[in-house]
């Protein structure tokens, strides 16, 4: 790859961005501590770190979203004050946020023009933008229909609109915050090609990510952040994923999940022709059939919004469906009248929901209260008709210790824990119930590497006890690492099942884009058209 | 029903629709920017009072209008301060302003005029005179179109025509100008506006100011155009009907005109007839008056297409990543 391009440049060239001693605190939390970094022009500079390491805060300061408590920002050798986004744009900095900042019911053109209009009247601005947009999209392979509404576009397309917005404002420094989180592998590859193209044109790119593979693949230089501090800046070709992971976490990390081959037993969950129609009358599951056996992990791969959430919700008793679901050979009632989340729990289904903050926890409640949810009628937590809070608290303390939740304080509100520790609370609650079947959605979303390792170990341990696990994740790496079998969902259907040992990310990526004939070469365009059709949306 | 009755009902429809239309457009600007305004009622009321009071004291309706609009704008700024700057609850702030207007208007009226919370009756230059449209006299002889022009459309006060002209103006501002684009954007996704380098606060304050101006005109019309003086609670729920019309119109200006004319028509009909005899049964006029609310509930329930409000409506903007 083009990793050696920057060696040709003289060292004396002013950095595109230089931050000197940036500090920022939110209340008692020091998000950024005395951070200095130099980003050379015409390079792709990666910033990697765990969730909560302060990457996004740092970039938000650079984009004028937050004001630093201390420190200086230098752009192309000149000191700049960046009190707001306006100033950042004027300094030639563009930012693509993780959650897109687009107006859903506006056209692409209107979104691009917003805030960068030519004059008080709109029509001249729009027609001028239309021309420039055409030129830009040809130059950088960023084809988007300028008259399409944002809400009708897939996430990949929406991201292009964000990049076009920045380019339209003549940004020559582009910051991308976790850009591949919502993309299929094919879309991510295309994004990287766009970034390479921008780099060739002399643009400077800052890529924030927690995915080591992306850093290794595309960046020239990488800076590592940990606990609000910049721990190292290294040239990418001179480092390795293992070294970066160690720098991020501060100790050696196992990047691969250690697991013995599965020894599947009899079928625990049998799903036949399961259909779900949502409140708007859209069919979200179109006849899904699958089975999970004792002692195995079935991974469901797919781009967010293709029916995985609905599958988990129906199985967990949170949504009605049609079709047949058998647990240990016994039919479950799917109409929601005789069976709900509570009866499912009693029959041995534990559920770690996809969105822990909305469905897994009540953020303002204390840890021990959260650990009781769903099991509050357990005799162990009750004394007659009253709750035995002392018993619940004691049990919580035991779980906190066993699952290494930090800080180890059962009285803390759920919102005061980090993402990884919140997830550990949910996992502790569900896994300790000794379920026959574990439903687990996005177990490591927004969770730091250290906790990911732990959570993965727990899921594998449950499997090794002979339990069945249904895993839904949009992270293909996670699916590949944990699953004993992989089913790929697209547009409410299972596109196919593969064994991890006999498939590749490329093949899964095509299945995720709805292309079942994975033997021949497919164009990016085909993949995109399929995805646009399925309406895969960003999950927030 | 004879032709003359139809013309008279049409004439009174226009007069009764005017305050609704001004308030409705006021609400449109505010809500399109993401600020819900339940306080239209209060703003109209306070403006109705101040315009009548100042007109009565100075004898000039124009000074009265100025005072009324100023009062409504000040109320708007209080609402803005509470909901934009201090990120308070927009409903609570609006309701509080309604109470404030209701109490303050009567209190001050009693203190100054001592006529049981009213202002003296206005006459002469203290009221808006009716304007005759060009050729109204000449055309009145033309059959059908003549009376429609000279008796129904002509002969209203200037604020009626201002309200009608405000409709295309609002459409133009909203859909053909930079300010309109930003205004619509800030009501949908303030984050997009903020990251595009545009101040969310300034935009919303702008919208709230326009809202104050328009609802001020509506209030002034009530006491100096439609009626001759201020009486207690004279807005009689018009601010809420205007909100209903806004939902009915799905936050769009031309449809707002249609909704306000419809609601104005219902009022005109119920003012004129005690009950409507439909041979088989009678419709009491209370039912006709309730129709705007019933229609709004029907719309909200989603029977006649979905009314999707601006997405960021009611939520204060807090910067986040």
pLDDT tens, B259-305?
A: 999 999 988 888 887 777 777 777 787 888 788 778 777 776 766 66
Q: What is the pLDDT of residue A227?
A: 84
Which pLDDT tens digit goes with each residue over B103-141? 999 999 999 999 988 999 998 889 998 888 888 888 888
Residues A109 and A158 occupy one common structural domain: yes
pLDDT in tens, A504-516: 888 888 888 888 7
Q: Are A207 and A214 in contact (CB under 8 A)?
A: yes
pLDDT of residue A539 exceeding 60, the answer is no
Residue A281 three-state SS: coil
Last residue of one domain, picked from the residues A377, A398, A432: A432
Cα of A96 to nearest chain B Cα, Å:
10
Domain holding A398, by residue range, is: 361-432
Minimal CA separation from A276 to chain B, in Å: 23
Cα–Cα distance between B53 and B118 in angstroms, integer?
9
- Alpha-carbon distance of A281 to B120, in angstroms, equals 60
Token pair listed for A319: 């949504």
Buried b / exposed e along B231-243 (16+ C-beta atoms within 10 A): beebbeebbbbbb
B291, A67 Cβ separation under 8 angstroms: no
Domain count across chain A: 4
Q: Is B23 inside a domain boundary?
A: yes
State the pLDDT at residue B227: 92
CA distance B167 to B20: 12
- Residue B159 domain boundaries: 3-129+139-236
Provide the pLDDT confidence category of residue A2 given band limits of 50, 70 and 90.
very low
Give me the pLDDT at residue A475, please: 85
Q: Count up the domains in chain B and report the number.
A: 1
Our CA-based measurement puts residue A357 at a distance from the nearest CA of chain B, in whole angstroms, of 17
Domain assignment of residue A220, yes or no: yes
Assess contact for B39 and B94: CB atoms under 8 A. yes
pLDDT digits (tens, 9 = 90+) for B141-159: 888 888 888 888 888 999 9
Evaluate whether residue A531 is within a structural domain.
Answer: yes
Where residue A5 falls among pLDDT bands split at 50, 70, 90?
very low
Cβ burial of A416 (10 Å; 0-12, 13-18, 19+) is middle
Residue B314 in domain: no
Q: Is residue A69 part of a domain?
A: yes
Torsion of CA B106, B109, B110, B116, to 10 degrees: -70
Min Cα distance B32 → chain A (Å) is 13
Does residue A51 or residue A175 have the better pLDDT?
A175
Specify the 3-state DSSP secondary structure of A497.
Answer: strand
Closest residue in B to A120 (Cα–Cα): B178
Contact A363, A413 (CB under 8 A): yes
Using the Cβ of A208 and the Cβ atoms of chain B, whether some distance falls under 8 Å is answered with no
CB count within 10 Å of CB A498 equals 20
Chain A touched by B177 (CB under 8 Å): yes
Both A194 and A223 in a single domain? yes
Q: Same domain for A144 and A79? A: yes
Q: Is residue B286 part of a domain?
A: no
A164 lies in some domain:
yes
- The tens digit of pLDDT for each residue in A239-289 reads 988 888 888 877 776 667 788 888 999 999 999 999 999 887 889 999 999
> How many pairs of residues across A and B have Cβ atoms under 8 Å apart?
84
Interface test mutation site (partner A, options B172, B187, B191, B195, max chain A beta carbons within 10 A): B195
| Average pLDDT of span B220-237 | 94
Q: A67 — contact with chain B (CB < 8 Å)?
A: no
Q: Do the beta carbons of residue A136 and residue A168 sit within 8 Å?
A: yes
First to last CA, chain A: 33
Verify that A423 and A441 share a domain, yes or no.
no
What pLDDT is recorded for position B320?
63
Q: Is residue B91 part of a domain?
A: yes
- Find chain B residues with C-beta within 8 A of A88's C-beta: 197
In this structure, is residue B307 part of a structural domain? no
The reply to whether A285 and A426 lie within a common domain is no
Same domain? A26 vs A167 = yes
> Do A425 and A450 sit in the same domain of this protein?
no
In this structure, the answer to whether residues A65 and A137 fall within a common structural domain is yes
Do residues A109 and A196 share a domain?
Answer: yes
Say if B224 falls within a structural domain.
yes
Residues from chain A that touch B195, judged by Cβ atoms under 8 A, are: 63, 65, 85, 95, 97, 101
| Contact call for A102 and B198, based on CB within 8 A | no
Q: How far apart are CA A225 and CA A454, in angstroms?
A: 21
Q: Which residues have CB under 8 Å from B258's CB, separation 6+?
A: B249
Instruction: Kindly report the number of other CB atoms within 10 A of residue A464's CB atom.
Output: 13
Q: Do B321 and A56 touch (CB under 8 A)?
A: yes
Q: Which of A66, A86, A105 sits opposite B197 (nearest CB)?
A: A86
- Give the residue from B41, B13, B95, B53 showing the smallest Cα distance to B211: B41
Q: Are residues A479 and A520 in the same domain?
A: no
> How far from the centroid of its chain's Cα atoms is residue A134's Cα?
31
Residue from B135, B128, B44, B40 nearest B90 by CA: B40
Q: Tens of pLDDT along A430-443?
A: 998 889 999 999 99
Residues A293 and A418 in one domain: no
Nearest residue to A182 via CA among A280, A109, A97: A97
Q: pLDDT tens-digit profile of A359-398?
A: 899 999 999 999 988 888 888 898 888 999 999 999 999 9
Asked whether the beta carbons of residue A121 and residue B189 sit closer than 8 angstroms, the reply is no
Q: Could you give the CA distance from residue A351 to residue A389 in angstroms, rounded to a whole number?
A: 23
CB < 8 Å to A165, chain B? 196
DSSP, res A224 = E
What residues in A contact B184, CB-CB < 8 Å?
103, 106
* Residue that is last in its domain, among A385, A407, A432: A432
Distance CA B106, CA B102 (A): 7
For residue A29, is it within any domain?
yes
> What was the pLDDT predicted at A521?
62
pLDDT at A47 over 90: yes
> Quick check: is A355 in a domain?
no
* Residue B271 lies inside a defined structural domain of this protein: no
pLDDT at A351 over 50: yes
A528: confidence class by pLDDT, cuts 50, 70, 90: low
Q: pLDDT of B242-253, one tens digit each?
A: 998 998 899 999
Minimum-distance CB partner of A114 among B177, B196, B199:
B196
* Domain shared by A185 and A47, yes or no: yes
Question: Domain for residue A240, yes or no?
Answer: yes
Mean pLDDT value across chain B: 91
Mean model confidence pLDDT for chain A? 87
Q: How far apart are the first and last CA of chain B?
A: 64
Neighbour tally for B271: CB within 10 Å? 14
Task: Answer yes or no: is A174 within a domain.
Answer: yes
Contact yes or no for B177 and A121 at CB 8 A? yes
A122 contact residues in B (CB cutoff 8 A) = 175-178, 180-181
Please say which residue of A188, A215, A249 terminates a domain: A249
Does the CB of B182 have a partner CB in chain A at under 8 Å?
Answer: yes
Whether pTM > 0.90 for this model: the answer is: no
User: What CATH number is given to the structural domain containing A288?
Assistant: 3.40.50.300
- Cα(B288)–Cα(B301) distance, integer angstroms: 20
Nearest 5°: the CA angle A238, A239, A242 is: 160
Which of B184, B197, B199 faces A89 most closely, judged by CB atoms?
B197
Distance CA A105, CA A525 (A): 24
């Amino acid at each position: 790859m083009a990793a050696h391009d920057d060696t040709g440049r003289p060292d004396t060239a002013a950095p595109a961005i230089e931050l000197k001693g940036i500090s920022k605190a939110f209340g008692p939390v020091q998000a950024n501590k005395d951070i200095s970094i130099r980003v050379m022009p015409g390079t792709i500079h990666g910033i990697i770190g765990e969730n909560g390491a302060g990457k996004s805060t740092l970039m938000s300061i650079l984009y004028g979203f937050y004001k630093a408590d201390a420190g200086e920002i230098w752009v192309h050798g000149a000191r700049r004050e960046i009190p707001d986004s306006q100033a950042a744009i004027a300094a030639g900095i563009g930012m693509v946020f993780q959650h897109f900042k687009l107006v859903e019911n506006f056209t692409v053109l209107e979104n691009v023009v917003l805030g960068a209009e030519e004059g008080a009247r709109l029509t001249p601005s729009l027609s001028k933008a239309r021309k420039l947009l055409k030129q830009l999209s040809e130059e950088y392979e960023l084809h988007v229909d300028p008259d399409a509404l944002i809400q009708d576009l897939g996430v990949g397309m929406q991201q292009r609109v964000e990049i076009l917005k920045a380019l339209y404002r003549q940004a020559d420094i582009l910051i991308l915050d976790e850009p591949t989180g919502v993309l299929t592998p094919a879309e991510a590859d295309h994004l990287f090609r766009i970034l390479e193209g921008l780099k060739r044109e002399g643009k400077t790119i800052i890529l924030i990510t927690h995915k080591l593979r992306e850093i290794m693949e595309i960046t020239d230089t990488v800076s590592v952040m940990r606990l609000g501090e910049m721990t190292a800046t290294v040239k990418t070709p001179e480092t390795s994923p293992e070294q970066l992971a160690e720098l991020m976490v501060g100790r050696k990390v196992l990047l691969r999940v250690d697991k013995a081959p599965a020894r599947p037993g009899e079928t625990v969950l049998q799903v036949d022709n399961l259909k779900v129609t949502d409140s708007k009358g859209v069919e979200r599951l179109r006849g899904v059939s699958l089975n999970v056996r004792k002692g195995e992990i079935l991974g469901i791969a797919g781009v967010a919004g293709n029916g995985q959430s609905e599958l988990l919700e129906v199985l967990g008793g949170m949504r009605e469906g049609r079709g047949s679901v058998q647990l240990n050979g016994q039919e479950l009632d799917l109409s929601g009248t005789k069976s709900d989340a509570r009866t499912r729990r009693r029959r041995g289904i534990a559920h770690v929901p996809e969105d822990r903050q909305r469905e897994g926890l009540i953020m303002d409640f204390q840890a021990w209260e959260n650990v009781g949810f769903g099991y509050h009628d357990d005799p162990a937590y009750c004394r007659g008709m009253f709750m035995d809070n002392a018993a619940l608290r004691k049990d919580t303390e035991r779980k906190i210790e066993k699952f290494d939740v930090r800080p180890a304080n059962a009285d803390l509100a759920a919102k005061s824990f980090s993402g990884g520790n919140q997830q550990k609370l949910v996992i502790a609650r569900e896994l300790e119930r000794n379920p026959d079947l574990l439903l687990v959605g996005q177990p490591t979303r927004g969770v730091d590497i250290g906790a990911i390792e732990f959570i993965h170990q727990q899921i594998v341990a449950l499997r090794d006890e002979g339990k069945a696990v249904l895993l839904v994740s949009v992270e293909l790496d996670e699916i590949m690492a944990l699953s004993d079998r992989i089913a790929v969902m697209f547009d409410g259907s299972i596109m196919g099942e593969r064994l991890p040992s006999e498939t590749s990310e490329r093949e899964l990526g095509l299945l995720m884009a709805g292309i079942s004939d994975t033997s021949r070469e497919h164009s990016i365009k085909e993949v995109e058209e399929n995805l646009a059709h399925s309406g895969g949306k960003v999950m927030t | 029903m004879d032709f003359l009755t139809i013309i008279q009902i049409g004439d009174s429809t226009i007069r009764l629709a005017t305050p609704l239309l001004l308030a409705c457009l006021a609400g449109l600007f505010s809500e399109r920017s993401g600020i819900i305004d339940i306080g239209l009622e209060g703003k109209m009321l306070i403006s109705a009072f101040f315009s009548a009071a100042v007109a009565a004291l100075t004898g000039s309706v124009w000074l009265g209008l100025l005072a009324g609009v100023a009062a409504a704008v000040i109320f708007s700024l209080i609402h803005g301060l509470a909901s934009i700057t201090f990120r308070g609850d927009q409903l609570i702030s609006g309701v509080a302003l309604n109470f404030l207007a209701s109490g303050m208007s009567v209190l001050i009226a009693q203190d100054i005029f001592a006529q049981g919370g009213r202002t003296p009756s206005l006459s002469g230059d203290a009221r808006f005179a009716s304007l005759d449209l060009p050729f109204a006299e000449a055309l009145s002889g033309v059959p059908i179109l003549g009376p429609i022009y000279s008796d129904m459309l002509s002969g209203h006060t200037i604020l009626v025509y201002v309200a009608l002209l405000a409709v295309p103006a609002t459409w133009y501002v909203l859909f053909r100008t930079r300010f309109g684009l930003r205004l619509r954007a800030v009501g949908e996704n303030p984050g997009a506006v903020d990251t595009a380098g545009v101040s969310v606060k300034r935009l919303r304050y702008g919208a709230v100011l326009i809202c104050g101006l328009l609802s001020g005109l509506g209030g002034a019309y009530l006491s100096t155009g439609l009626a001759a003086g201020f009486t207690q609670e004279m807005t009689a729920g018009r601010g809420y009907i205007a909100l209903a019309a806004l939902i009915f119109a799905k936050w769009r200006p031309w449809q707002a005109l249609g909704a306000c004319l419809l609601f104005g028509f219902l009022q005109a009909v119920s003012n004129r007839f005690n009950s409507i005899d439909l041979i088989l049964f009678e419709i009491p006029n209370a039912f006709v008056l309730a129709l705007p609310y019933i229609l709004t509930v029907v719309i909200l329930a989603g029977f006649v297409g979905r009314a999707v409000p601006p997405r960021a409506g009611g939520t204060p903007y807090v910067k986040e990543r």
